Amino acid sequence: MADKSAIEWTDATWNPVTGCTKITRGCDNCYAERFAERWRGVPGHPYEQGFDLRTWPSRLDRPERWRKPRMIFVNSMSDLFHKRVSRGFVDDVFDRMETTDRHVYQVLTKRSSRMRDYLRRRYSGSAAPAHIWCGVSVEDRAGAARIRHLQAVPATVRFLSIEPLIGPLGDLDLDGISWVIVGGESGPKARELRFEWVRDIRDRCASEGVPFFFKQWGGRTPKAGGRELEGVEHNAMPDTLAVTGASGQEIYA
């Protein structure tokens, strides 16, 4: 957790939950697990428990301490909608996000059906506040159901994190999607990212008018292959960056 992040599409990370379990092929070489397990058994370290799932009530107030508005990736080291995270704790996280509306929150999950059901209950008859963005992670064609779940989420901004992209997506349905991020896998067991998979997604985004962000080709390290696609860096973000919170303060312009 940090008030600055090396992740290109966010400003900061906030981890009121850490640890997770694998549910898709995209999880096979999880960067978060690889990092956390380095510290297993080190007394006093935040990852003394390795990548075992843990909730951190003491971290809930962290965004309140950040006075400068920023874009915050929620649970870069876990999944808020993991089945072992109680609904009460998810409520606590959303309560904090709602009250600190000077920030933009990027909530990303692979547990798409639980996110859909939770937001439908919480925002019955309305939509999540515009500063709370909702996204799903998809790695290949098998993840298409997660996109359908996301499209049923009552949110102003819905986004796809197609990372690590390890297979073609086929006919990508972007109805209701505000933003697409694509990236290759990194680490010692990184799987191949093919040019045509990325090109097809980029071209589909262009034809549908959806902002496209290419994060990396990946490889042994995140920066090994660079970020250019046919000589161009793609850094598009949603048009809804100008978000006004309940306080009337403009968050991003």
For residue 32, the model assigns a pLDDT of: 96
Angle at CA 10, nearest 5°, toward 55 and 195? 110
Q: Which tens digits make up the pLDDT trace of 187-243?
A: 999 999 999 999 999 999 999 999 999 999 999 998 899 999 999 999 999 975 544
CATH fold for domain 12-241:
TIM Barrel (3.20.20)
Q: Give which of 144, 181, 156, 172 is closest to 245, Cα–Cα.
A: 156
Distance of CA 58 to the CA centre of its chain: 22
User: What string of DSSP letters covers 77-144?
Assistant: TB-TT-TTS-HHHHHHHHHHHHH-TTSEEEEEES-HHHHHHHHHHHTTTS---TTEEEEEE--SGGGH
> Which band of pLDDT confidence, cut at 50, 70 and 90, is reported for residue 251?
very low
**Over 80: is that where the pLDDT of 249 sits?**
no
Closest alpha carbon to 11 in 56, 76, 64, 79: 76
Q: Does residue 170 surpass a pLDDT of 70?
A: yes
Rg (CA), the chain: 17
Q: What is the pLDDT of residue 1?
A: 52
Quick check: bond before 57 cis, omega within 30?
A: no
Residue 70 corresponds to which tokens in the numbers above?
């920023």
Q: What is the DSSP secondary-structure string of 127-162?
A: ---TTEEEEEE--SGGGHHHHHHHHTS--S-EEEEE
81-125 confidence digits (pLDDT tens) = 999 999 999 999 999 999 999 999 999 999 999 999 999 999 998
Q: What is the mean pLDDT of residues 145-154?
A: 98
pLDDT at 156: 94
Of 166, 239, 181, give the one whose Cα is nearest residue 214.
181
Query: What's the rounded Cα separation, in Å, for the pair 50 and 33?
Result: 8
pLDDT tens-place string over residues 43-71: 999 999 999 999 999 999 999 999 999 99
| 56 residue type, one letter | W
Mean pLDDT of 14-24: 98
What's the pLDDT at 244? 42
* 125-139 pLDDT tens trace: 899 999 999 999 999
Rounded percentage of the chain residues whose pLDDT exceeds 70? 94
- Give me the residue spans of the domains in the chain: 12-241
What is the distance between the alpha carbons of residues 210 and 174, in angstroms, rounded to a whole number?
8
List of residues 6+ apart from 22 with CB closer than 8 A: 28, 30
Q: Specify the pLDDT at position 6.
A: 85
Distances, alpha carbon 151 to alpha carbons 83, 146, 247, in Å: 21, 9, 29
